[in-house]
Chains A and B, each alone.
Chain A
């Protein structure tokens, strides 16, 4: 097994760079959907298609030393922060060469060396982790910021509200990013969220703005302002990014043929596709598309050739220190 193809650090500072990353996320999850149907991905995925502008706009505002916590729909965040698509694909396919050595899969993808503290399978669970990480980094004298992604479904999780309060009273350098895609699985936000996302933040005196989550530049501008304020000691910020997921909540949804969204609604949002919106402004778009396609082909070939984990290692990595296995019980 050769090493993974080298992953250049993403350059999200220009429109072309942001377009390249959005294209990568789009093609990555399109490929992941194919792999899921082909049985290469155990358990399925939560596709990020349609929401690319949020991950890319926010991560464009982050410095390399900044961190993020992610959600069960995390591929976009993980890629935009610079994770190697080949190793992420290997992780989705449950390979030892994956980002998490095949121990995490889609819902727990992490590359801590890049500040990616992990996608999280529990809705809203990353919020307080983000606040603690941000507080500790500041104590150590680092001027880093933590971006905390969550969906509209998390707006009703107690721990998220507790985390907003804690960030506010401790002035933790956290930027809360609500990806409001309109649905918590099948439940419309209108039927679930009493008050509003911005109202949640306002209640804890956290400055909040709503942005068009289908516009990477708009997300970037708002994120850059919140990140700069947090970095300079101004405390947490909150972005509500109004966006949409083109696919189902989870790949299982396709098999169930759920009809909680009208075709017209999906079609309407597809006319606001964040890639289509940016593409006319990128003269080299064709070249970028071809380059991304080539990169993904290589990544896919590498990931599929990667060996599967040895079952003898199923008990590894549970503890940093011991404890030894109980005699007579394996592993």
Chain B
């Protein structure tokens, strides 16, 4: 039994993927130095031809990865800052994601985009603190948000082996987590949720680092409300069967989602549950506010992020 940190899990997943398949390569900014963590030591082990330090040209190296994939590679692209995804939305959504359909199935585009440090890091302010997974779900790009180290390992392995583009968001607030593991964790199929805590009164779907907070709130409320905590792990494809099964038991839903509210991922789950008539009480979402931009001062930053107290109140309101 050993401790596995979230960052080490991503690092080990990349190393094991590269060892297993010579077509896997890693590219991005400062990946040789391993500045963001997940690529630490990889260039020394696999060489600069498989771990490519790229110029500060996000648009070029994103499409470079697509071209390399069309020529038989399985590139993993690292973005150190989630907001860089806005810069390469064209390359990921309009090129990588659409290539297969537009060619009538002639190509596969096995590129993985990894975003270590997504969401808020105190003091990183407006342009470094977004958590834009909902945009990729909306566009239909496979989207993964691991909450725990073993899942981070298993999901990244699965993402690299997947024949389509996949964006993996590693929440900044989860990257310090550690978990007891025995041996290498198994791959986690995309589209499989994990029931983190069974309950009977209300289903809380929590995304990424908020899973740990939801579990703590569920513990707090244990004598009062029986909370089921569902970790979707992948947001697209989403494990609708797991959500449906949970709601058939609890008939109540709260979504805990560190992203903006309007047209957000939480709204989608509420809509789906309502459409299917699975609820007997109004559902709730605990999210960032509509159109939030995180301010610099730590008090202001924190004030716009979803809080455990808000989740507690939402759970109570759902069962009232």
Contact = CB atoms under 8 A, between A and B. Distances in A.
Interface residues of B, number: 50
Interface in A117-140: 117-118, 120, 122, 125, 127-137, 139-140
A280 interface: no
Interface string B126-158: 000000000000001010000000000000000
Contacts of B67: 69, 117, 128-136, 146
B191 A322 contact: yes
Contact of B64 (A131, A317, A318): A131
28 contacts: A69-B67, A101-B104, A103-B102, A104-B102, A108-B103, A110-B102, A112-B106, A118-B99, A120-B95, A125-B63, A125-B91, A132-B65, A132-B66, A134-B67, A134-B71, A137-B72, A139-B49, A140-B71, A140-B72, A162-B57, A163-B63, A165-B57, A166-B61, A166-B64, A318-B100, A320-B100, A324-B237, A326-B240
Contacts of A321: 162-164
The 10 closest A-B pairs by CB, nearest first: A132-B67, A323-B237, A101-B104, A162-B60, A128-B63, A136-B71, A132-B64, A320-B163, A133-B67, A162-B57
Interface string B39-76: 00000000001000011010111111111111111010
Nearest to B276: A328
Interface string B100-123: 111111111110000000000000
Contact of B60 (A69, A100, A165, A327): A165
B90 interface: yes
Contacts of A310: none
A316 interface: yes
A54 to B, nearest CB: 22
B94 interface: yes
B220 to A, nearest CB: 34
A318 B70 contact: no
B55 A165 contact: yes
B167 to A, nearest CB: 14
B112 to A, nearest CB: 13
A159 interface: yes
A231 to B, nearest CB: 15
Given A132-B68, A166-B57, A322-B191, A103 B63 contact: no
A99 interface: yes
A261 B151 CA distance: 60
B210 interface: no
A110 B103 contact: yes
B241 to A, nearest CB: 8
Nearest to A146: B67
Contact of B70 (A111, A112, A113): A112
A100 B99 CA distance: 11
B190 interface: yes
A101 B102 CA distance: 9
Given A69-B67, A99-B104, 20 more contacts: A112-B106, A118-B102, A120-B95, A122-B94, A125-B90, A128-B62, A128-B66, A129-B64, A131-B67, A132-B65, A132-B68, A134-B67, A135-B64, A136-B68, A146-B67, A159-B63, A166-B55, A166-B61, A316-B105, A328-B276
Interface in B198-232: none
Interface residues of A, number: 52
A128 B104 contact: no
Given A122-B94, A122-B95, A169 B72 contact: no
Interface of A: 67, 69, 98-104, 108, 110-113, 117-118, 120, 122, 125, 127-137, 139-140, 146, 158-159, 162-163, 165-166, 169, 316-324, 326-328
B236 interface: yes
Contact of B190 (A101, A125, A127, A323): A323
A328 B190 CA distance: 21
A329 B90 CA distance: 27
Contacts of B99: 118
A222 B207 CA distance: 56
B100 A159 contact: no
Interface centre among B54, B64, B101 (most CB of A within 10 A): B64
Contact of B101 (A103, A120, A163, A166): A103
Nearest to A317: B105
B149 to A, nearest CB: 25
Nearest to A158: B59
A159 B57 CA distance: 8
Contacts of A129: 63-64, 66-67, 70, 95
Given A104-B103, A319-B164, A128 B70 contact: no
A98 B104 contact: yes
Interface in B270-320: 272, 275-276
Nearest to A101: B104
Nearest to B27: A132
A163 B104 contact: no
A103 B68 contact: no
B60 A163 contact: yes
Contacts of B54: 166
Interface centre among A99, A108, A131, A321 (most CB of B within 10 A): A321
